[in-house]
């Protein structure tokens, strides 16, 4: 391992592209100020709850206080008598409309409003529509619900016990809480590898239930126009087109009579992919009252009832030779899916993309067996910037590698370096069947080691240990898999995961790009304008990006799983190239030469060998709309559409190193340094990429040290407010030290890979590995709160998901 003196003092040239904004707008890629910021810094963003529609009513949801109970009766008469209440809707009302249950995105059904039983604390029971938000809340207190409490199933490990109460007795013939069994990899080959391996390490680990908790909660405003029959839904959705199709399927409304409009979104992180009962109730409320109905959940409702994340109980094993060559990995997973299987992921993959868990290493065999169970907890499971459960996969393999290193007395950095995939091995097909597109993992890892000053850190650690001080160094190397489809293998509810794009150049040479994906803060208005700018030589300032409104944009699956740049970004580049070829024909007509004789130079065409015979895009755009005679078969105007069906996922990677100090007396962890070297291929706007990484790194601090949604034996949610569900603040986060390597994706039109979730996926194991390295404990589950660290040091780690000792 090498280090550089400068790197440790933080003044090294880490090779990072400049994240300082340029003085003038770049004609393509480069750091530039975000176009959307102009409104956000003035408080002029337009978020869901900012929207007021004339005549709009407000609503609130009555929720179950119990985790599992039979509903004996609901009396809404007092609420209905409230002078400001316009409607009270119960499960019975919805049942009359055939809407009491709705399909989930994972081949299950979910109660919109409970009719028979409540199955988790916070489940939706009744919906009140009133003149204002305070009155709607008041009326909730006037509804009387009589429950017969039932024993809840809280511990997933007991969900399949013969005596466990059956949660989903609504499903005909169901006699237990078993949801699915699913496996990937070659079981026999993996077993054979393990049988002959020199060394094997195993570890039980939990990736606890957490929540994306965007700053803006979920909400919608449904407005049904009785005259036209058109339903307009302003809503916090990361996937407007998928939502429209689901509304059509749920409500039986014709799709062309549904308009979904996603306004500015205050963070999503996966929380705003699914369809929630509140959205459906708002639609029914609007139909019943004839007025627009706004529904906005409060923070507690957000945490208790909308998409949770993770909740994977994993038993992992890793096999190696005695000299440290990794051979194989196998894992058994118990997946807690809550009361309804509401995961939002490619429909054919019940564990999402978890089966990339062989990670970044050259391994001969791997196998996983996943069992999903129902419990009396809220539905969800795939959310929180997880790239469809790659968070769990990376945590598993990066913890196992550390456990193996500890068991054998190996240095965890050397063990990783010895086994990382080398650049000449790409494209590399893993034992689990994924074809990784590109990477130079040792170079990426070495860069992180250099920036961190790994050897010096170990020396410092030895000195501190001699003084009785607890310092830890944690490493994680991750491979992400982002940009779902291709449509052949990945779909959601039968909708293939491909994205459309439409580009129109106006006569004056300005452009409008229409996208199917939807930003929640990622800066699409800027980045996508830069993609088109790079292809056509039109300034990003002159390119308007339209997204979020299904009446104004082409079909596509939306923004989650870091798929915007890999899929919609590719669509933007491809549609720009189509426009460029149309422009070539127009330029040829203008210059009276053959189109083949023209050469493209960013911003226009010129005749080969004669740069003076040239036409700019602005001139070409005007000519395309003018009286210029175009060749037969060539339409006028300058526009194009395309659908991009990705041939493969893109595979970004990264090397993360975390340094912590632990107070042995209190268990308090201080993250002193965090080095993150990301390789996400070509960076369109390095400033935005770096910002995305920063946010994900904070997620890692949160998950490793603070965030958990635990439950007591009665099923009470113990993380139902920001006082209980702890998110990292500026005080827990260090000043991030970033680096980069750039290995373009060979199959992506501009060589870019997704990056939005890389740091969230990659950082938790680095933090956990660092803390456990500091305290000398083989394993303890997240979150490593001071109490838990202290307990782990005493050899008595906690079951963090149950909040019991």
Rounded Cα gap, residues 710 and 782, in angstroms: 11
- Return the number of the residue (466 or 731) whose C-beta is nearest another protein: 731
Q: 568-582 burial, b if ≥16 CB within 10 A, otherwise e?
A: bbbbbbbbbbbbbeb
Place of tokens 């439409």: 502
- Return the number of the residue (45 or 603) whose C-beta is nearest another protein: 45
Contact between residue 492 and residue 382 where contact means Cβ atoms under 8 Å apart: no
Which structure tokens are listed for 737? 């030290």
Place of tokens 């990426």: 444
Nearest Cα neighbor of 426 from 17, 39, 743 is 743
Q: Does 245 bind another protein (CB under 8 A)?
A: no
Q: Does 33 bind another protein (CB under 8 A)?
A: yes
Q: Which residues in 713-742 contact another protein (CB under 8 A)?
A: 721-723, 727, 729-731, 733, 735-736
Which structure tokens are listed for 88? 């009270």
Q: Does 520 bind another protein (CB under 8 A)?
A: yes
Q: Does 50 bind another protein (CB under 8 A)?
A: yes
- Do the bridges between strand 293-296 and strand 57-63 make them parallel or antiparallel, or are there none, so unpaired? parallel
| Interface residue with another protein, options 10, 15, 38, 636 (CB under 8 A) | 38
Contact between residue 344 and residue 382 where contact means Cβ atoms under 8 Å apart: yes
Q: Does 511 bind another protein (CB under 8 A)?
A: no
Q: Does 698 bind another protein (CB under 8 A)?
A: yes
What's the closest the beta carbon of residue 259 comes to another protein, in angstroms?
22
| Interface residue with another protein, options 277, 439, 695, 783 (CB under 8 A) | 695
Q: Does 40 bind another protein (CB under 8 A)?
A: yes
Q: Does 45 bind another protein (CB under 8 A)?
A: yes
| Interface residue with another protein, options 184, 576, 669, 687 (CB under 8 A) | 687
Q: How far apart are the first and last CA of the chain?
A: 41
What's the closest the beta carbon of residue 162 comes to another protein, in angstroms?
42
Nearest Cα neighbor of 274 from 308, 298, 304 is 308
Q: Does 165 bind another protein (CB under 8 A)?
A: no
Nearest Cα neighbor of 542 from 594, 584, 603 is 603
What's the closest the beta carbon of residue 559 comes to another protein, in angstroms?
12
Q: Does 672 bind another protein (CB under 8 A)?
A: no
Rounded Cα gap, residues 648 and 643, in angstroms: 15
Q: Does 266 bind another protein (CB under 8 A)?
A: yes
Q: Does 522 bind another protein (CB under 8 A)?
A: yes
- Return the number of the residue (38 or 804) whose C-beta is nearest another protein: 38
- Return the number of the residue (258 or 738) whose C-beta is nearest another protein: 738
- Return the number of the residue (93 or 217) whose C-beta is nearest another protein: 217
* Cis peptide upstream of residue 423 (ω within 30 degrees of 0): no
Contact between residue 317 and residue 331 where contact means Cβ atoms under 8 Å apart: yes
Q: Which residues in 120-159 contact another protein (CB under 8 A)?
A: 133-134
* Residues sharing a CB contact under 8 Å with residue 230, sequence separation 6 or more, in sequence order: 224, 257, 258, 259
Tell me the window of 402-410, 489-497, 515-523, 742-750 that interacts with another protein (CB under 8 A).
515-523
| Interface residue with another protein, options 316, 346, 439, 523 (CB under 8 A) | 523
- Return the number of the residue (448 or 574) whose C-beta is nearest another protein: 448
Rounded Cα gap, residues 144 and 127, in angstroms: 13
- Return the number of the residue (217 or 235) whose C-beta is nearest another protein: 217
- Do the bridges between strand 293-296 and strand 258-261 make them parallel or antiparallel, or are there none, so unpaired? unpaired
| Interface residue with another protein, options 299, 315, 418, 779 (CB under 8 A) | 299
- Return the number of the residue (84 or 778) whose C-beta is nearest another protein: 84
Is the sign of the CA dihedral 694, 700, 706, 710 positive or negative?
positive
- Return the number of the residue (124 or 264) whose C-beta is nearest another protein: 264
What's the closest the beta carbon of residue 266 comes to another protein, in angstroms?
3
- Return the number of the residue (196 or 729) whose C-beta is nearest another protein: 729
Q: Does 560 bind another protein (CB under 8 A)?
A: no
What's the closest the beta carbon of residue 522 comes to another protein, in angstroms?
7
| Interface residue with another protein, options 108, 216, 317, 392 (CB under 8 A) | 216
Q: Contacts with another protein: how many residues (CB under 8 A)?
A: 58
Chain-centroid distance of CA 462 in Å reads 39
| Interface residue with another protein, options 11, 43, 466, 468 (CB under 8 A) | 43
Nearest Cα neighbor of 688 from 771, 637, 754 is 754
Contact between residue 60 and residue 300 where contact means Cβ atoms under 8 Å apart: no
- Return the number of the residue (135 or 203) whose C-beta is nearest another protein: 135
- Return the number of the residue (137 or 779) whose C-beta is nearest another protein: 137
- Bridge-partner residues for 295, per DSSP? 220
User: Is residue 340 left, alpha or beta, with left meaning phi > 0 and alpha meaning psi from -120 to 50?
Assistant: beta
What's the closest the beta carbon of residue 224 comes to another protein, in angstroms?
23
Contact between residue 301 and residue 272 where contact means Cβ atoms under 8 Å apart: no
Contact between residue 624 and residue 582 where contact means Cβ atoms under 8 Å apart: yes
| Interface residue with another protein, options 30, 91, 214, 569 (CB under 8 A) | 214
Tell me the window of 264-272, 287-295, 372-380, 480-488 that interacts with another protein (CB under 8 A).
264-272
- Return the number of the residue (617 or 671) whose C-beta is nearest another protein: 671
Q: Does 56 bind another protein (CB under 8 A)?
A: no
Rounded Cα gap, residues 766 and 98, in angstroms: 49
Residues in contact with another protein, shown as a per-residue x/- string from 300 to 339 under the rule CB under 8 A: x---------------------------------------
Which structure tokens are listed for 292? 């627009």
What's the closest the beta carbon of residue 286 comes to another protein, in angstroms?
20
Rounded Cα gap, residues 219 and 49, in angstroms: 8
What's the closest the beta carbon of residue 155 comes to another protein, in angstroms?
28
- Do the bridges between strand 258-261 and strand 230-235 make them parallel or antiparallel, or are there none, so unpaired? parallel
User: Is residue 724 left, alpha or beta, with left meaning phi > 0 and alpha meaning psi from -120 to 50?
Assistant: alpha
Tell me the window of 34-42, 177-185, 318-326, 745-753 that interacts with another protein (CB under 8 A).
34-42
Q: Does 44 bind another protein (CB under 8 A)?
A: yes
Q: DSSP letter string over 740-793?
A: E-----TTSTT-B---TTHHHHHHHHHHHHHHHHHHT-S--PSP--HHHHHHHH
Interacting residues with another protein (CB under 8 A): 19, 21, 33-34, 36-45, 47, 49-50, 52, 133-134, 213-217, 264-267, 269, 298-300, 520-523, 687-688, 690-698, 721-723, 727, 729-731, 733, 735-736
């Amino acid at each position: 391992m090498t280090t550089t003196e400068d790197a440790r003092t933080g003044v090294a040239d880490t090779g990072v592209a400049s994240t300082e904004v340029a003085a003038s707008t770049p004609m393509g890629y480069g750091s530039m100020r975000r176009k959307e910021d102009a409104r956000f810094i003035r408080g002029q963003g337009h978020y869901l709850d900012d929207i007021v529609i004339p005549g709009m009513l407000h609503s609130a949801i009555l929720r179950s206080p119990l985790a599992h109970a039979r509903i004996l009766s609901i009396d809404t008469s007092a609420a209905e008598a409230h002078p400001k209440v316009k409607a009270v809707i119960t499960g019975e009302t919805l049942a009359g409309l055939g809407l009491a249950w709705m399909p989930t995105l994972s081949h299950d059904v979910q109660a919109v409003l409970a009719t028979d039983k409540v199955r988790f604390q916070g489940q939706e029971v009744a919906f009140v529509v009133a003149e204002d938000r305070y009155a709607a809340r008041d009326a909730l207190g006037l509804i009387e619900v009589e429950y017969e409490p039932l024993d809840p199933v809280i511990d997933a490990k007991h969900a399949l016990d013969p005596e466990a109460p059956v949660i989903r007795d609504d499903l005909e013939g169901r006699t237990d809480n078993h949801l699915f069994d699913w496996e990937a990899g070659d079981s026999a080959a993996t077993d054979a590898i393990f049988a002959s391996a020199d060394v094997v390490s195993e570890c039980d680990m939990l990736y606890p239930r957490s929540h994306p908790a965007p700053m803006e909660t979920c909400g919608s405003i449904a407005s049904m126009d009785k005259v036209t029959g058109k339903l307009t839904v302003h809503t916090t959705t990361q996937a407007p087109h998928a939502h429209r199709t689901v509304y059509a399927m749920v409500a039986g409304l014709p799709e062309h009579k549904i308009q979904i409009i996603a306004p500015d979104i205050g963070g999503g992180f996966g929380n705003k992919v699914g369809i929630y009962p509140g959205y459906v109730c708002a639609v029914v409320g609007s139909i019943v009252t004839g007025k627009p109905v706004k529904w906005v959940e409060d923070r507690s409702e957000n945490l208790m009832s909308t998409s949770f994340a993770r909740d994977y109980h994993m038993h992992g094993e890793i096999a190696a030779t005695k000299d440290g060559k990794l051979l194989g990995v196998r894992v058994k997973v118990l997946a807690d899916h809550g009361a309804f299987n509401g995961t939002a992921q490619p429909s054919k993959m019940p564990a999402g993309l978890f089966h990339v868990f062989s990670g970044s290493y050259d391994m001969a065999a791997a196998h996983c067996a996943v069992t999903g169970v129902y419990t009396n907890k809220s539905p969800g499971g795939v959310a929180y910037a997880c790239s469809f459960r790659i968070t769990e996969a990376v945590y598993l393999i990066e913890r196992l590698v550390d456990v193996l290193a500890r068991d054998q007395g190996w240095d965890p950095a050397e063990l990783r370096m010895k086994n990382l995939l080398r650049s000449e091995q790409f494209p590399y097909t893993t034992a689990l069947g994924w074809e990784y597109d590109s990477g130079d993992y040792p170079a990426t890892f070495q860069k992180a080691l250099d920036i961190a000053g790994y050897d010096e850190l170990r020396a410092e650690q030895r000195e501190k240990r001699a003084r009785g001080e607890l310092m830890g160094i944690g490493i994680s190397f991750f491979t992400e898999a982002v940009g779902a489809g291709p449509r052949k293998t990945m779909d959601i509810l039968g909708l293939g995961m491909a994205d459309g794009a439409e580009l129109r150049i106006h006569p004056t040479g300005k452009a409008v790009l229409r996208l199917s994906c939807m930003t929640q803060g990622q800066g699409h208005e800027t980045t996508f304008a830069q993609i088109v700018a790079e292809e056509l030589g039109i300034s990003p300032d002159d390119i308007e990006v339209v997204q979020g409104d299904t009446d104004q944009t082409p079909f596509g699956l939306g923004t989650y799983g870091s798929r915007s740049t890999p899929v919609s970004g590719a669509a933007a580049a491809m549609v720009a190239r189509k426009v460029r070829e149309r422009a070539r024909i127009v330029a040829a007509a203008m210059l009276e030469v053959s189109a083949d004789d023209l050469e493209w130079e960013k911003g226009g065409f010129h005749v080969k060998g004669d740069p003076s015979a040239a036409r700019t895009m602005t001139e070409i755009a005007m000519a395309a709309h003018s009286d210029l005679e175009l060749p037969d078969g060539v339409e006028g105007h300058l526009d194009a559409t395309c659908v991009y069906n990705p041939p493969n996922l893109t595979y970004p990677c990264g090397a993360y190193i975390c340094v912590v100090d632990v107070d042995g007396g209190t268990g308090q962890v201080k993250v002193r340094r965090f080095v993150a070297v990301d390789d996400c291929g070509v960076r369109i706007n390095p400033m935005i990429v770096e910002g995305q990484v920063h946010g994900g790194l904070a997620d890692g601090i949160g998950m490793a040290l603070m965030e958990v949604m635990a439950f007591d034996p009665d099923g009470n949610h113990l993380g139902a407010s920001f006082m209980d569900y702890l998110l990292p603040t500026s005080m827990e986060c260090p000043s991030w030290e970033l680096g980069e390597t750039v290995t373009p994706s060979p199959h992506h039109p501009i060589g870019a890979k997704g990056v939005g979730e890389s740091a969230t996926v990659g950082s938790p194991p680095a933090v956990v590995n660092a803390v456990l390295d500091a305290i000398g404990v083989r394993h303890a589950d997240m979150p490593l709160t001071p109490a838990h660290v202290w307990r782990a040091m005493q050899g008595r780690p906690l079951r963090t998901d149950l909040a019991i000792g």
